[in-house]
């Protein structure tokens, strides 16, 4: 197999993985516009985040396999940390949404939940956009791990706030639970 075929194949895989991520974002955005007041839209959101996560896992594994073969352990850690942070935040948020599925779908959540889930979606979108932008603009590749790590850390903090908001809602939203 010559070098041209190998690079074309790798571009096809990368395009496929990024397309999978775009499909997940599209699903999340459509279900987000519908709202979380039904179990179907919440299921769509969880599915969309799951598709984004699968796309990021495949993209990161393919990227690590193809371009990080000759890196030191520190360079490999810096390069893979952003992807791990995205995956952890998506896993944690999907777990939280699944755990409190009934309360969310019945709108037994406080007002801050919609703000936090919107922030989570925005930061996830920015992370994916940074990955897309790095594919078309190699000049940003030096800063990309640091930008993605910052966004991933903020997104994990937002995920923790979502979990705390839903877990301890009874102290804040006792009025709705009594209904």
Exposed/middle/buried for 125, CB within 10 Å: 0-12, 13-18, 19+? middle
pLDDT in tens, 91-110: 999 999 999 888 888 888 88
**More reliable by pLDDT, 131 or 30:** 30
Query: Which of 6-15, 29-38, 99-108 has the weakest average pLDDT?
Result: 6-15
**Taking the CB of residue 46, how many other CB atoms lie within 10 A of it?**
19
């Amino acid at each position: 197999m010559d070098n041209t075929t190998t690079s074309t194949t790798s571009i096809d895989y990368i395009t496929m993985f990024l397309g999978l991520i775009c499909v997940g974002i599209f699903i999340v955005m459509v279900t987000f516009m519908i709202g979380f007041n039904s179990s179907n839209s919440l299921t769509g959101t969880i599915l969309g985040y799951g598709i984004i996560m699968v796309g990021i896992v495949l993209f990161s594994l393919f990227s690590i396999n193809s371009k990080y073969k000759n890196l030191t352990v520190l360079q490999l850690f810096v390069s893979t940390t952003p992807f791990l942070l995205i995956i952890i935040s998506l896993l944690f948020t999907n777990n939280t949404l699944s755990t409190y599925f009934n309360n969310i779908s019945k709108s037994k959540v406080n007002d801050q939940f919609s703000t936090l889930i919107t922030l989570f979606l925005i930061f996830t979108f920015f992370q994916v956009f940074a990955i897309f932008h790095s594919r078309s603009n190699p000049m940003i590749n030096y800063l990309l791990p640091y930008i993605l790590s910052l966004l991933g850390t903020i997104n994990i903090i937002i995920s923790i706030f979502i979990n705390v908001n839903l877990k301890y809602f009874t102290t804040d939203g006792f009025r709705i639970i009594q209904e």
